[in-house]
Amino acid sequence: MKRTEQLQRLHSGLSGKYDVIIIGGGATGLGTALDSVTRGFKTLLLEKSDFASGTSSRSTKLVHGGVRYLARMDLMLVTEALRERGLMLRNAPHLTSDQEFIIPVYSWFDAVLYTTGLKFYDILSGRLSLGKSYFINRKKVIERLPDIKPDGLKGGIVYHDGQFDDARMAVSMAKACVKHGGTVLNYFEVMALLKDKEGRIEGVDACDLVTGEKYNIKSSLVINCTGVFADEIIHMDTPEAKRMIKPSQGVHLVFDRSFLNGNSALMIPKTDDGRVLFAIPWYGRTVAGTTDTPLNTISREPVALTEEIDFILNTAGRYMVKPPARKDILSVFAGLRPLASDPDNPHATKEISRRHKIILSGSGLLTITGGKWTTWRCMAEEALDCAIKAGVLRKRNCVTKNLKIESVSGNIPSDRLKVYGENAREIGEMMNENPELAEKISEKLPYTKAEIVWICRNEMPVTLEDMLARRLRALILDAAETAKCAPAVAEIMAGEMEHDGRWIEEQVDCFRKLAKNYLPRI
C-alpha cells in the first residue's frame, strides 16, 4: 500500500465515476469501504488526517459484547456485538486474541448476580462463544491477579472477551481495501459536496493536503463516516440541519505490566460514573480505563482532564494492593465517542447509546453515526444495504462475514511481528540480511528499525506521528521514551521518504508537543 500508487489509481479513476465515495478513515469508514469494494463497487475512501487518527486508535483495545449494556437490558446491542466479536476474532487472527477477565466479588450477593448475568452473556454469544464463564474461589483469584486486594474478597467470576490492536486493525483494513481494488487516501480533505441541478449529491470537491492539489470527483453515492465530526459533513449537505452528535470523552491510563502482574484482565463492574472499569494486559503494559465525560465541544486532539485521571487512579486503587499513582503513568490517551442522539430531542439521554444510526438524506448523503469498533462490519453491511434498497446502488450481496482481513501462516520471526500479517516474514528477512535493522529504537520499546523502514515503504505514513502513534504503538506504550527516540525515527523516515533535515526538525518538534498531551501533569 503506497500513497503514490493510490494517487495514480485516483487519477485513472477520474475519467469515470465512482460508485461509492467514503468520507472518513476510521473503523466505520474503512469497514464500509471494505464492504463496498468486496461487493464489486468502484470505491474511494478519503481521510482528512491519518487512518484511525481519531477515536479509532484510542479505544479500550477490546472486541466485546459490552457487559454493561447487558445490565441495561440492551439485548439487541449485546447480541449483535457478541456475534461480530466472534467474526472479528475469526477473520483477523493476527491482531485479535481471546482475553480472560476476572470480576472480583466482595459479597455473596454480587457473586450470584454477576455469575447469573455472565451466564446470560455466554448464551447470547451462541456458537461464536470464546468460553464459558464460571466462579473461582478467593485463592484462585489471588493466583491470577496477585496484586488484587484480598481483604473481604469472596472470589471472582471468570469470563472471556476479545482483545485487539485498534490502529493496526485499521491499517490492515485499509490494505485489504487496496488488495480488492479500492482506493484509500489519507491527508485528503473533502471541501464540499457536489450537487446536480435537482440538488442530488453527485460527488465531492477534495484537496490533497500533502501536495495541495484539488480534485473534483464524481460518484453515485457519498457516505459520511466521520465519527464525532459527522455533523460537519451533514451541514455541508443541509446547513440548517440540527446537530445529532453528542460526544463523550473516554480516557485511559497506561502503566507497567507489574500493576496486574498476570495474564488475566481485571473488570470492575461498579464505578462512580456508572461505567465499568477495565485493567488489561496489552503489549507488555497495563491499560486502565475508561471514563465517560460528556463534552460540549470537540477537538481533533482531545486532552485528558485532571479529574478523569484522578477518577481512574482512585477507582483502581480501591482494588489494588499497590495503588497506582501519577508518577507510575507511562501514557494517557483520550478518545471521543460519537454517540448518536435524537436531533429533535438532544437532551433525551435515553436515546444516546452505542447503537449506530444510518440516515439517508433527501439529497442522497448517507450518514453512519454512533456504533463501536466491534460492530464495524454489520454497520457497513447495513449502510450498503440501505443504499441498495433506496435504488442508489445495484443489488450485490455482502461477503464480509467470511472475509479474512489478513492471515499469518507458517513460521514467523517472532510472535510480536504477527501484527504485520502475511508481511511478518518479510520484515524478519530484512533483519536477517541487515543486522543493523534488527536494532531496537529504544531499550524500553519493542520496535526495530526494520519495522520503520518496511512501514515507510508499505503503509503510507506521512508524519512522524503516523509512525509512532499508530503504525507502531510507541506513543501509547511510553510517551516520554517515545519523545526521546523521535529524532532517530524521523531520520530513518526521512531517508526512506526523501525528506531533508528541515522536515526532521519540524516533525520532531511537532511530535514532542503532541507527546506532552500523553503525559500526566504530576
Same domain, 505 and 429: yes
Asked if 271 and 228 sit in the same domain, the reply is no
User: In CATH, what number is assigned to the domain containing residue 121?
Assistant: 3.30.9.10
What lies within 8 Å, CB to CB, of 505 at 6+ separation is none
Number of domains present in the structure of the chain: 3
Domain boundary among the residues 290, 322, 339 is at 339
- Is 211 part of a structural domain of the chain? yes
Beta pairing class for 331-340 and 245-256: antiparallel
How many angstroms separate the Cα of 31 from the Cα of each of 218, 291, 366, 369?
21, 26, 15, 13
CA distance 36 to 397: 10
Both 314 and 173 in a single domain?
no
- Residue 299 banded pLDDT, cuts 50, 70, 90: confident
Residues 510 and 422 in one domain: yes
Q: Tell me what the mean pLDDT of segment 259-276 comes to.
A: 87
**CA neighbor of 421 nearest in space, from 379, 454, 463:** 454
pLDDT band at 469 (very low <50, low <70, confident <90, very high): very high
pLDDT reported for residue 354 = 64
Overall average pLDDT of the 202-215 stretch: 97
Instruction: Check pLDDT > 60 for residue 351.
Output: no
In terms of domains, do 313 and 392 share one?
no
Q: Which of 402, 424, 442 is the last residue of a domain?
A: 402
Tell whether 429 and 487 lie within a shared domain: yes
Last residue within a domain, chosen from 339, 368, 389: 339
SS3 track for 397-410: CCCHHHCCCCCCCC
Separation between Cα atoms, residue 285 and residue 496, nearest integer Å: 30
To the nearest 10°, the Cα dihedral for 76, 171, 507, 225? -40
Domain residue limits at 176:
3-55+168-244+344-402
pLDDT at residue 352 is higher than 70 = no
**Is 335 part of any domain?**
yes
77 belongs to a structural domain = no
One domain, residues 21 and 135: no
**Residue 23 near residue 219, CB atoms below 8 Å:** no
Is 80 exceeded by the pLDDT of residue 191?
yes
- What type of residue sits at position 176? A
* Residue 81, in any domain of the structure: no
What confidence tier does 348 reach under pLDDT thresholds 50, 70, 90? very low
* Domain membership flag for residue 334: yes
* pLDDT at residue number 9: 96
CATH number of the domain bearing residue 374: 3.50.50.60
Span 282-291, mean pLDDT?
A: 94
> How far, in Å, are 227, 307, 498, 502 from residue 506 at the CA level?
29, 33, 15, 6
Q: In terms of domains, do 328 and 314 share one?
A: yes
pLDDT of residue 75: 81
Quick one: pLDDT at residue 167? 98
* pLDDT at residue 344 is higher than 70: no
What are the b/e assignments for 320-358, b being 16+ CB within 10 Å? beeebeeebbbbbbbbbbbbbbebeeeeeeebbbbbbbb
**Structural domain includes residue 156:** yes
What is the mean pLDDT of the segment spanning 110-117? 92
Domain identity same for 431 and 283? no
Residue 224 lies in a domain: yes
Q: To the nearest whole number, what is the mean pLDDT of the chain? A: 93
- Asked if the model's pLDDT at residue 292 lies above 80, the reply is yes
Q: Which cell goes with 187?
A: 491527508
User: Both 261 and 158 in a single domain?
Assistant: yes
pLDDT at 126: 87
In terms of DSSP bridges, do strands 43-46 and 183-185 run parallel, antiparallel, or are they unpaired? parallel
pLDDT band at 343 (very low <50, low <70, confident <90, very high): low
Average pLDDT over residues 454-482: 98
361 and 453 part of one domain: no
Would you say residue 350 has pLDDT above 50? Answer: no
Provide, for the chain, the percentages of residues in helix, strand and coil under a 3-state DSSP scheme, each rounded to the nearest 5. 45, 25, 35
> Are both 194 and 296 inside the same structural domain?
no
Which tens digit of pLDDT belongs to each residue from 132-183? 999 999 999 999 999 999 999 999 999 999 999 999 999 999 999 999 999 9
Q: Is residue 93 part of a domain?
A: no
In this prediction, residues 248-259 reach a mean pLDDT of: 94
Q: 219 — phi, psi (to 5°)? A: -160, 160
| Concatenated DSSP letters of 61-120 | SEE---HHHHHTT-HHHHHHHHHHHHHHHHH-TTTEEEEEEEEEESSHHHHHHHHHHHHH
Task: Tell me which of 306-310, 343-347, 413-417, 471-475 is least confident.
Answer: 343-347
This model's pTM is above 0.75? yes
